[in-house]
Chain A
Amino acid sequence: MAELVGDWLKGGLGIHLLTIMKALFLIVFLWAVLALSGTAYPGKKLKVNYVLLGWIFCGALFAVLAYQATWQLGGMTRPAFVKFMRTYNRRENAAQQQTLRGALLDRRGLVLAAPQPGSIWGRRYPLGAAAAHPLGYYDFRYGITAVERVCDGTLSGMTQTPEDLAKSILVKRPEQGESVNLTLDSRLQKKAYELLKNRSGAVVVINPRNGELLALVSAPGFDPQHPESAIRDSIRKPAFNRAVQGRYPPGSTFKIVTAGAALNNNSSPTFNCPGGGFVAGKGKKPIRDSEYYSDLRKGRQWKGWGSIDMKEAMIHSSNVYFSQLGAGCTANQMAAVMRDAQIDQELPYLADSSGALASMQGRIPDLESGWNRAQAAIGQGNLLVTPLHVACYTAAVANKGVLYAPQLNLDAQAKKLSQPFTAATAYTLKVMLREVVKKGTGRKAELAGLDLCGKTGTAEVNGGKDHSWFTCFAPFHDPVLVVTVLVENGGYGAEAALPVARELLSEANKLGYFKRTAGGRK
């Protein structure tokens, strides 16, 4: 008998049977409630009227019921409660009863992070370590970080319109939170990470015309599904997002900004650049060109560039020229362009319902001293920036001097942040940076048909090998991509960072990022 009924239940009716039973139960329950309330009272005459008491207690019951509704039906609007349930609700079927976390998608709709059905804390990251830094992790024990944290409300379906909220209360909770579209291109992100592999460094790829971040890479990476070892590793610091949190001297890449400061003030002087270097202050060591040291190692005497203009100096990345240029600018002229380039600011790059993400702020040294200005002019001294800052001032050059706020959310409006350079300055800088790649320190980066503009950087580090920088954009006429690469302790900019940028640009070219411009040139 039991088996017979069992077989019948397993049949087609079984799926909806519980719903039918629930409905039937509630209907009959309602019927009983109505019948009970409708039953006539015995007798007619009331000696004393105690109806007030009845209503007081009924009122109390329904006040409690109303309060209960704020938890039972509106619990999702209480963030502390949602967090509690996510962590401590051990129901086996909770995954069905709770909202499945929304996905993170790249600019083409490819999955960057996806929920794992059947598990509240399960999360799948197809790019793995390559995108661990911008996306962050979502871990039961170690918490929620980066994009996962900032977009938590959206991803877990807590930010709903009133209509959605009403629907989710009445009919069914949303099975899945909203997904968030990011500006990242998973192909560039992955490629950049592979190019950096086994080294420490960062890559930022940004669209200068709207600030969209196409890649935000930090190496070494870590497995976002198992962040514990990365968090504990205090030597390599893999959990540290170097692209936005790391602060470095920008080295020669900062000559872009120094040149901009002078050009904004219509100054483009010619300086004598002797081999002995430039002494910026009494008793200070002379600032020399790198050729002085390379010749010294070869047993030769560097004679200097002689009298050169700004373009020539940029091509050769002459420290002697730019330190003179910086020392020659007023403190205000230098400070103005640095502030407009947001060097002393946090660069915000994502804001959502549960918070915002921004880079570290850079550090501008005291510019009143000529020595400090001369040092800052060549990206040394007390000047510190994040790779995102370098990408942003490069992007400003590429975009007619206008800096757009970096952005990770594909659906966000592009936002103008500031204008560090005048349009004329930006154009002059662009021409110079093109020359750098054509025949200067960046010539190894030249890729056929790309019209790349760029600047190398070699930043001295106390007690370590130099940091290697390369920041560039392409194509010359209508730049669509800015690529900034930092390789920690990589040596000369042209040696470590430049090849990474070149490979990445070549990949972007294959992917068709420069197609329109390339076609136009035919």
Chain B
Amino acid sequence: MKEGKGSSLFRLLMLDWLVVALACAMAVYTQFQAQQSLVWKPLLPLAIFSAAIPVTSLWLKMLGWQGDQGFVGAVFLLCGLGLVTQIRLTGFAGDSNVISPLALLPLSAGLLAFLLGASITGGRRGRWLSSAGWGAYFGALGVMALMLVFGRSYRGGIYLPGRINPSELVKPLLVLFMAAFLANRAKAFSETQIGIPTPPFSALVQLVFLWSIPMAGTLLLKDLGLMVILNAILIVMLFAVSRRSGYLALGCVAVTAAGFGVQLISGNAKDRFDVWLHPFADATGKGWQVLQSLSAMYCGGMWGAGIGGGDPKFVPIASSDFVYAALAEEIGFVGCTMLLCVYGILFVRGFRAAGMIKAPFERLLCVGLTSALAVQTVFNIAGVTKALPMTGITLPLISHGGSSLIVTLLVCGLIAGLSDSRK
């Protein structure tokens, strides 16, 4: 039984590898068609991905991990597709056709972070994290303070020198804190009257006070995307702890109202709303990016241009925020549907894993981390397709950006560990 499961994970990962390898072959072929020369060097990161498959299987087996294999398979598939996209966007599209060794670092570090995460929480070893709740809270505030002092504004966001965006860290840290905070107050937040949640006043004041400080931080940083994500995660976690759907309804209203309200104070947010509502009003200015993104998708059509067959270079920042547009052009609408299915599997499995956990803290942690991934995915894709205003956030596991990939893989590792709920 035990062995059967282990080999099943390996099979899934090999299937992921096959998808990724086929995508790479397509990229090589289209590159050959365009340049009449075969180039292999950009495929170097594929070696790391390939090596990660047996390493991961062996490592998890050594740990005695018995978590959700489908979840790990989905993570690897998305990560692999992100890798192909980055190879295609930077390696093949660049003039040098070479990827610097530095570019290999995030992937290697990310895969290690995944294993680390799985090791931390696997086999219910993660309970000690609840005592780190306050540490995580002040850690998150510290990161924000660091960015306020040293950050530089770039494309509407604030980055540390070297374009590291540590705001990625704020999300898991705050999730960890909220899980620890709410786990002890499950009863309080479950109280409702005629469907409307009515937690006791003292608990509410505590929560509002503690929450308002990081919110003020996001306002100071002008990182509205982060603010939206954090609030959405909070709502999901409140629902998870209370299991009162009133929180979801209330939260949706609050997020919508906040979204409209925020454009009153921030010019940047107002621009994004204007573009969303009237993209053609300033087609060559503010509307340019999202319209180029949609043009790329249109050119991809139903079946796509093939990996490497499209021209994502015309979409501004195609490698990070708008990576979905680049993918949509090349894998087509059919490919996008399947890609979103993989994301769906990831979320359903993440939430399902949370449902298996008995301990409230770990359960909440799992819900929080999963919803962080889910909220980010939905808002990124909705922004790129103009279904919602742009929030300026990355697509988990696929967008380029070193710090983002490492943290996301760490989060995925933690969820994978939490899904291992054996006694």
CB distance A46 to B356 under 8 Å?
Answer: yes
CA distance A52 to B367 in the complex (A): 12
Determine if B213 is an interface residue (Cβ-Cβ < 8 Å). no
Query: In the complex, what residues of B have CB within 8 A of residue A50's CB?
Result: 240, 351-352, 354-355, 367
Interface size of B in residues (CB-CB distance below 8 Å): 96
CB distance B354 to A42 under 8 Å?
Answer: no
Query: In the complex, what residues of A have CB within 8 A of residue B180's CB?
Result: none
Stretch of B44-52, B160-168, B306-314, B401-409 that contacts chain A: B306-314
CB distance B70 to A62 under 8 Å?
Answer: no
CB distance A39 to B306 under 8 Å?
Answer: no
Residue in A closest to B297 when the chains form the complex, CB atoms: A72
Residue in A closest to B74 when the chains form the complex, CB atoms: A36
In the complex, the number of residue pairs spanning A and B with C-beta atoms less than 8 Å apart equals 239
CB distance A41 to B29 under 8 Å?
Answer: no
Determine if A170 is an interface residue (Cβ-Cβ < 8 Å). yes
Q: Which of the listed residues A6, A42, A171 has the most CB atoms from chain B within 10 Å of its own CB? A: A42
Query: In the complex, what residues of B have CB within 8 A of residue A35's CB?
Result: 11-12, 15, 73
Residue in B closest to A81 when the chains form the complex, CB atoms: B294
CA distance A81 to B331 in the complex (A): 21
Determine if B361 is an interface residue (Cβ-Cβ < 8 Å). no
Contact with B along A55-76 (1 / 0, CB 8 A): 1111011111101110111011
Query: In the complex, what residues of B have CB within 8 A of residue A57's CB?
Result: 344, 347, 371, 374-375, 377-378
CA distance A22 to B38 in the complex (A): 19
Q: Looking at the complex, which one of A18, A41, A80, A94 makes contact with B352 (CB distance below 8 Å)?
A: A41
Determine if A30 is an interface residue (Cβ-Cβ < 8 Å). yes
CB distance A88 to B291 under 8 Å?
Answer: yes
Say how far B83's CB is from chain A's closest CB, in angstroms.
Answer: 15
CA distance A433 to B307 in the complex (A): 73
Contacts A24-B22, A61-B340, A62-B340 given; does A51 touch B348 at CB 8 Å: yes
Say how far A157's CB is from chain B's closest CB, in angstroms.
Answer: 14
CA distance A369 to B162 in the complex (A): 87
CB distance B381 to A61 under 8 Å?
Answer: yes
Query: In the complex, what residues of B have CB within 8 A of residue A90's CB?
Result: 314
Determine if A266 is an interface residue (Cβ-Cβ < 8 Å). no
CB distance A37 to B334 under 8 Å?
Answer: no
CB distance A84 to B302 under 8 Å?
Answer: no
Q: Looking at the complex, which one of A32, A84, A89 makes contact with B314 (CB distance below 8 Å)?
A: A89
Determine if B206 is an interface residue (Cβ-Cβ < 8 Å). no
CB distance A28 to B18 under 8 Å?
Answer: yes
Determine if A448 is an interface residue (Cβ-Cβ < 8 Å). no
Determine if A231 is an interface residue (Cβ-Cβ < 8 Å). no
Q: Looking at the complex, which one of B30, B38, B239 makes contact with A6 (CB distance below 8 Å)?
A: B38
Say how far B397's CB is from chain A's closest CB, in angstroms.
Answer: 14
Query: In the complex, what residues of B have CB within 8 A of residue A43's CB?
Result: 356, 421-422
Residue in B closest to A66 when the chains form the complex, CB atoms: B387
Contact with B along A74-92 (1 / 0, CB 8 A): 0110001100110011111
Contact with A along B71-85 (1 / 0, CB 8 A): 001100100000000
Determine if B188 is an interface residue (Cβ-Cβ < 8 Å). no
CB distance A67 to B385 under 8 Å?
Answer: yes
Residue in B closest to A25 when the chains form the complex, CB atoms: B22
Say how far A141's CB is from chain B's closest CB, in angstroms.
Answer: 14
Determine if B280 is an interface residue (Cβ-Cβ < 8 Å). yes
Q: List 19 A-B contacts (CB under 8 A).
A: A18-B306, A21-B22, A32-B18, A35-B12, A36-B77, A43-B356, A43-B422, A50-B351, A50-B354, A51-B355, A54-B344, A56-B248, A57-B378, A60-B382, A65-B336, A67-B382, A72-B301, A84-B280, A91-B314
Where the two chains meet, the residues of A that have a C-beta atom closer than 8 Å to any C-beta of B are: 2, 5-6, 9, 14, 17-18, 21-22, 24-26, 28-33, 35-37, 39, 41-43, 45-58, 60-65, 67-69, 71-73, 75-76, 80-81, 84-85, 88-94, 97-98, 169-171, 173
